Amino acid sequence: MEASGGEWVAPSTANGNVRADPVYVVKARLFRTLGHPVRIRIFELLRDGERSVSDLQIELNLDSSGTSQHLSALRQLGLLDSRRVGTSVFYRIADPRVTDLLATAKQILTSALTVSHSLLGGLAAVPREDAPDQ
């Protein structure tokens, strides 16, 4: 929602309860669905184009039931599209913004880890007070 100055303003929540606001519920569902390592890997595998369920199953090292559950959860949210050719089903990313979102997440994590690494390096360089004198 935009205010008159073009700034984003949060929508009002039902009785002030964020958990009851459908906008936040849907957003949380999206991130919960994306929050599984196998599903992140599925997007990485599909980034360059569609793949068959059997190919994904081999790459993910999952049985057909596990693979189908993950693909179904992503398809229900509209994140993946599928098509059938004979007995094979092929999946592809429905919206390329998903790969943009994952790329942004990678940048955020890389930045945070770089800062943590720098802090750890700085801590390692500080002499310990309890270290014996030599």
Could you say which DSSP state residue 55 is in? Answer: H
Of 1.10.600.10, 2.170.120.12, 1.10.10.10, 1.10.760.10, which CATH number belongs to 35-124?
1.10.10.10
Span 88-124, pLDDT tens digits:
999 999 999 999 999 999 999 988 888 777 777 777 7
Strand-by-strand arrangement of the 51-52 sheet? 51-52, 88-93, 80-85
Give the pTM: 0.71
83 contacts 89 by C-beta, under 8 angstroms: yes
pLDDT tens by residue, 42-88 = 999 999 999 999 999 999 999 999 999 999 999 999 999 999 999 99
How far apart are the C-alpha atoms of 79 and 64, rounded to whole Å? 20
Cα of 19 vs its chain's centroid, Å:
21
Instruction: Output the six-digit token pair for 41.
Output: 């890997």
